[in-house]
């Protein structure tokens, strides 16, 4: 086994890396089943990509915050282990591609030297906690939400309650009512408020999501006190873990649990779960996110500008005055979210003299620079322009969000990256006035799963296919009318029509030409779309869906030379499950060890939850012997009572439900933790005995 000592010498991080290395070896030796191993590596940020034999590694950056040193470290890692490119994501992460599985532990160890983690960047876990990129400097914010996002990230990282859920869980903090973190499409979304007493709190949005079946979040709190944010999330996750679907991944997101049980019942269960929470109140350290170091540069005179008109347009579309007087935030539009590592290094050196030592990755795959003094703006512009990073129209129609699509993703149906570049160029060339419109967005996904967030765009496209002349044609589903309204209210785009991919440019032209001609006064796109209605746009675009006029080049996707074929692999966004009896029992034994270790550390709540996992995992193992594969933990508990306790095959004092669900009837005290652990030991021994008898019979 390799030695993974980090500069931080964080024992938890070190153990994570050692465990990953060990499990890779066991997988190579055939000890760990492929599907089980997949779930293990996903929870450690290692994701299979479209090309066989290599991995995408997702680097988790809480609320998109990254220092210059961290950014350079990631560039070095991409050069050494990946493809010398950094891909910025819509969840404020950085992804690198074409990584050898066997080198991922070593890669992680080197990242950890600069306090960077891969843990829970993928898989059935709490994904990266996002926030508005301008949090902390937003002139409209009641207060900085960055410390709350950081506290949420830290509290739930490695937390037993959310390590093996049925699906992923997404949390976002917006900085103001503008809702630039899109609270309305998250499992939990938070918008900051200050009440009449001057207290901090949040408007809470609940059980939203995009994907193939988008759902707008429910408003469940107008004002939740800041000290209740962490407890509320904890209770919610505990309910999702117990009652969430685990067999059918297409129905396993939190939004489907709310649809199944009803909002009132889910809220009741959350309230019931509070008793078992590790914390009943959690005070956020407002100073946990330190102010970034400011540059020491002195600039007495403005830098000479070669194109004054372009500079003034850049100031208007990419620069804003911070809430801190005398300082400005500067947005960088990054085409397709891709930064080659050589340019990443040049970029850091270019901005270091003029901006604070902290960048934020934005939800539209750009970068935000902070604390630029007014007298430095011209110097920064010149430095950025030299590198090609002064493209106009940040967060406008010309700033298109896209997922990697068929470039690297297993689920990609059609190319989205090249299409994004083509559409951006079209806007610049034919509709330059729209670079000033930040209420009109184009977003593209390579498939219906909405990684490019097409469902919350005014104009969205997702990859699809059509059949014509006995061949498959690359296509896009056109979506219209989505977007952010504000303060937790959003709109899901409607499916209007499907057209060949090569006609997406014409779709954009037709829609924009009509919008220019038909809108009244300053009418925004939402009002214009609602006034015209979905059928109006179907009829407007119907000629573009005519397959009788297909040209040979339309059978070839954007960015390709060969005739299009659909080649969809197995997606890994949500992780996988494996229900082999022996594997489940081995996992239960491992979790019993974790419970005992938590007891020794005095971590009573963690010990209890690990013991709970022992009960459920062991019971599920025996149920598989009866060909019963319950889709939820609550179902496992119920089925075990019916199949084993009520039949007398397993003898318990009382029901299995009463035994296991002591977990949410008791405070996480030392006494209860030790008692519950002992009961879990006894139960696992009974299950082992029963299993041995079944095997031998």
pLDDT digit string, tens, across residues 275-319: 999 999 999 999 999 999 998 877 778 899 999 999 999 999 999
Which position has the higher pLDDT, 584 or 129? 129
Helices (H), 500-576: 504-518, 525-532, 534-541
Number of domains within the chain? 5
Longest Cα–Cα distance in the chain: 89
- The residue length of the chain stands at 697
637 and 677 assigned to the same domain: yes
312 and 182 assigned to the same domain: no
CATH number at residue 588: 1.20.120.330
Residue 562, strand partner residues = none
376 and 410 assigned to the same domain: no
479 and 438 assigned to the same domain: yes
Neighbour count for residue 411 (Cβ, 10 Å)? 21
408 and 549 assigned to the same domain: yes
- Nearest 5°: the CA angle 117, 120, 125 is 160
pLDDT for the residue numbered 580:
65
Sign of the alpha-carbon torsion through 586, 589, 590, 591: positive
Describe the crossing of helices 581-601 and 604-625 by its angle, rounded to 10 degrees: 170
Describe the crossing of helices 146-156 and 229-243 by its angle, rounded to 10 degrees: 40
pLDDT for the residue numbered 18:
87
Average pLDDT in the chain: 91
Contacting residues for 1 by C-beta, under 8 A, at least 6 apart: 18, 21, 22, 25
Residue 321, strand partner residues = 328
- Contact between 190 and 202 under an 8 Å Cβ cutoff? The reply is yes
Q: Rounded mean pLDDT of 270-279?
A: 96
- For residues 426 and 422, what is the distance between their CA atoms, to the nearest angstrom? 6
pLDDT for the residue numbered 576:
38
Give the residue from 387, 421, 445 where a domain finishes.
387
pLDDT for the residue numbered 97:
95
Q: Rounded mean pLDDT of 403-414?
A: 69
CATH number at residue 44: 3.90.480.20
Question: E strand or H helix at 425, and its extent?
Answer: helix 417-430
Q: What pTM was computed for the model?
A: 0.92
pLDDT for the residue numbered 574:
43
Report yes or no on 629 lying in a domain: yes
- Contact between 669 and 603 under an 8 Å Cβ cutoff? The reply is no
Report yes or no on 459 lying in a domain: yes
- Nearest 5°: the CA angle 253, 154, 634 is 35
- For residues 493 and 183, what is the distance between their CA atoms, to the nearest angstrom? 16
pLDDT for 697 beyond 80: no
**Whole domain around residue 467: which residue ranges?**
401-555
- Contact between 49 and 55 under an 8 Å Cβ cutoff? The reply is yes
491 and 348 assigned to the same domain: no
Q: Give percent of the chain above pLDDT 90.
A: 77
Question: E strand or H helix at 12, and its extent?
Answer: helix 11-28
pLDDT digits (tens, 9 = 90+) for 171-208: 999 999 999 999 999 999 999 999 999 999 999 999 99
- Position 619 confidence tier, pLDDT thresholds 50, 70, 90: very high
610 and 517 assigned to the same domain: no
pLDDT for the residue numbered 3:
47
Report yes or no on 672 lying in a domain: yes
- For residues 313 and 434, what is the distance between their CA atoms, to the nearest angstrom? 12
Report yes or no on 569 lying in a domain: no
- For residues 229 and 4, what is the distance between their CA atoms, to the nearest angstrom? 35
First and final CA of the chain: distance in angstroms? 40
pLDDT for 511 beyond 90: yes
- Contact between 447 and 437 under an 8 Å Cβ cutoff? The reply is no
Contacting residues for 351 by C-beta, under 8 A, at least 6 apart: 369, 380, 383, 384
Give the residue from 324, 354, 387 where a domain finishes.
387
Residue 321: phi and psi, rounded to 5, are -80, 130
If we measure between CA atoms, which residue out of 424, 358, 347 comes closest to residue 144? 358
If we measure between CA atoms, which residue out of 435, 438, 482 comes closest to residue 460? 482
Q: Two tokens at 491?
A: 């709109």
If we measure between CA atoms, which residue out of 109, 71, 65 comes closest to residue 368? 65
416 and 365 assigned to the same domain: no
548 and 596 assigned to the same domain: no
Q: Rounded mean pLDDT of 404-422?
A: 77
Q: Is 625 left (phi over 0), alpha (psi -120 to 50) or beta?
A: alpha
485 and 519 assigned to the same domain: yes
Report yes or no on 291 lying in a domain: no
pLDDT digits (tens, 9 = 90+) for 641-687: 999 999 999 999 999 999 999 999 999 999 999 999 999 999 999 99
Report yes or no on 123 lying in a domain: no
- Contact between 62 and 133 under an 8 Å Cβ cutoff? The reply is no
If we measure between CA atoms, which residue out of 641, 601, 636, 632 comes closest to residue 620? 636
pLDDT for the residue numbered 9:
58
- Contact between 63 and 593 under an 8 Å Cβ cutoff? The reply is no
CATH number at residue 203: 3.30.413.10
pLDDT for the residue numbered 352:
95
Q: Give percent of the chain above pLDDT 70.
A: 94
Distances (CA, A) of 500 to 61, 454, 474: 37, 17, 6
If we measure between CA atoms, which residue out of 32, 34, 47 comes closest to residue 572? 47
- For residues 117 and 106, what is the distance between their CA atoms, to the nearest angstrom? 12
Question: E strand or H helix at 105, and its extent?
Answer: helix 104-112
If we measure between CA atoms, which residue out of 93, 118, 120, 115 comes closest to residue 105? 118
Report yes or no on 199 lying in a domain: yes
Distances (CA, A) of 35 to 18, 46, 56, 510: 20, 14, 17, 46
496 and 531 assigned to the same domain: yes
Contacting residues for 170 by C-beta, under 8 A, at least 6 apart: 91, 126, 127, 130, 186, 187, 188, 209
- Contact between 577 and 535 under an 8 Å Cβ cutoff? The reply is no
Distances (CA, A) of 403 to 341, 370, 400, 443: 19, 26, 10, 9
- Contact between 581 and 651 under an 8 Å Cβ cutoff? The reply is no
pLDDT digits (tens, 9 = 90+) for 552-594: 999 988 877 666 555 544 455 544 333 368 778 888 998 999 9
Least confident of 20-34, 241-255, 265-279, 440-454: 20-34
Give the residue from 51, 82, 112 where a domain finishes.
112
Q: Rounded mean pLDDT of 403-413?
A: 69
pLDDT for the residue numbered 243:
97
- Position 7 confidence tier, pLDDT thresholds 50, 70, 90: very low
548 and 439 assigned to the same domain: yes
Report yes or no on 188 lying in a domain: yes
- For residues 130 and 172, what is the distance between their CA atoms, to the nearest angstrom? 5
Sign of the alpha-carbon torsion through 572, 577, 578, 583: positive
Question: E strand or H helix at 673, and its extent?
Answer: helix 670-696
Residue 604: phi and psi, rounded to 5, are -65, -45
pLDDT for 16 beyond 90: no
pLDDT for 122 beyond 80: yes
């Amino acid at each position: 086994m390799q030695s993974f000592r980090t500069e931080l010498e964080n024992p938890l991080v070190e153990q994570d890396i050692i465990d990953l290395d060990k499990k890779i070896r066991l997988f190579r030796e055939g000890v760990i089943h492929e599907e089980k191993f997949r779930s293990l590596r996903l929870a450690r940020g290692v994701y299979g990509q479209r090309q066989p034999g290599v991995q995408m590694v997702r680097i988790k950056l809480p609320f998109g915050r990254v220092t210059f040193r961290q950014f350079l470290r990631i560039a070095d890692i991409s050069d050494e282990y990946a493809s010398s490119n950094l891909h910025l994501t819509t969840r404020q992460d950085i992804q690198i591609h074409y990584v050898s599985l066997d080198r991922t532990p070593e890669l992680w160890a080197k990242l950890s030297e600069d306090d960077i983690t891969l843990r829970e960047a993928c898989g059935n876990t709490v994904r990266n906690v996002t926030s508005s990129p301008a949090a902390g400097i937003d002139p409209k914010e009641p207060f900085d939400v960055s410390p709350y996002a950081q506290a949420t990230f830290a509290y739930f990282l490695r937390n037993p309650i959310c390590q093996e859920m049925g699906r992923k869980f997404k949390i976002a903090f917006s900085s103001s009512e503008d809702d630039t973190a899109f609270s309305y499409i998250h499992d939990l979304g938070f918008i900051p408020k200050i009440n009449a007493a001057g207290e901090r709190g949040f408007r809470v949005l609940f059980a939203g999501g995009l994907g193939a079946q988008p759902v707008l979040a429910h408003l469940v709190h107008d004002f939740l006190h800041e000290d209740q944010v962490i407890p509320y999330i904890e209770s919610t996750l505990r309910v999702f873990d117990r009652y969430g679907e685990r067999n059918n991944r297409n129905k396993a997101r939190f939004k489907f649990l709310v649809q199944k049980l009803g909002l009132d019942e889910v809220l009741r269960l959350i309230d019931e779960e509070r008793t078992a929470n590790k914390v009943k109140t959690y005070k956020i350290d407002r100073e946990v996110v330190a102010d970034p170091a400011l540059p020491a540069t002195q600039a007495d005179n403005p830098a000479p500008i070669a194109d004054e008109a372009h500079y003034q347009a850049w100031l208007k579309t990419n620069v804003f005055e911070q809430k801190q007087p005398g300082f400005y935030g500067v947005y960088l539009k990054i085409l397709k979210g891709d930064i080659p590592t050589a340019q990443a290094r040049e970029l850091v050196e270019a901005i270091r003299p003029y901006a604070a030592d902290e960048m934020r990755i934005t939800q539209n795959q750009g970068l935000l620079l902070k604390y630029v003094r007014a007298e430095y703006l011209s110097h920064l512009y010149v430095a950025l322009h030299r590198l090609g990073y002064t493209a106009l129209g940040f967060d406008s129609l010309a700033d298109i969000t896209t997922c990697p699509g068929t470039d690297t993703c297993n689920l990609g149906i059609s190319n989205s990256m090249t299409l994004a570049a083509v559409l951006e160029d079209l806007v610049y060339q034919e509709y330059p006035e729209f670079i000033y419109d930040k209420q009109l967005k184009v977003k593209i996904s390579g498939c219906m799963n909405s990684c490019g967030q097409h469902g919350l765009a005014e104009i969205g496209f997702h990859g699809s296919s059509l059949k014509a002349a006995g061949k498959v044609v690359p296509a896009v589903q056109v979506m219209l009318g989505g977007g952010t309204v504000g303060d937790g209210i959003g709109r899901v785009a409607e499916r209007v029509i499907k057209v060949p991919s090569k006609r997406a440019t014409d779709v954009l032209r037709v829609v924009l030409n009509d919008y220019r001609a038909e809108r009244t006064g300053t009418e925004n796109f939402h009002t214009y779309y609602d006034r015209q209605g979905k059928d109006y746009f179907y009829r407007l675009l119907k000629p573009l869906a005519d397959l009788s006029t297909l040209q040979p080049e339309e059978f070839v996707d954007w960015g390709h030379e060969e005739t299009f074929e659909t080649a969809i692999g197995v997606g890994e966004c949500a992780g996988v499950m494996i229900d082999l009896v022996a594997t489940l029992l081995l996992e239960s034994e491992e979790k019993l060890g974790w419970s005992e270790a938590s007891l020794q550390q005095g971590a009573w709540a963690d010990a209890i939850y690990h013991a709970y996992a022992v009960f459920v995992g062991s019971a599920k193992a025996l149920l598989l012997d009866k060909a019963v594969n319950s889709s939820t933990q609550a179902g496992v508990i119920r089925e075990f009572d019916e199949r084993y306790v009520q039949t007398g095959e397993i003898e318990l004092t009382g029901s299995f439900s009463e035994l296991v669900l002591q977990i949410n009837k008791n405070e996480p005290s030392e006494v209860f933790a030790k008692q519950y652990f002992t009961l879990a030991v006894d139960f696992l021994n009974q299950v082992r005995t029963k299993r041995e008898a079944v095997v031998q019979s």
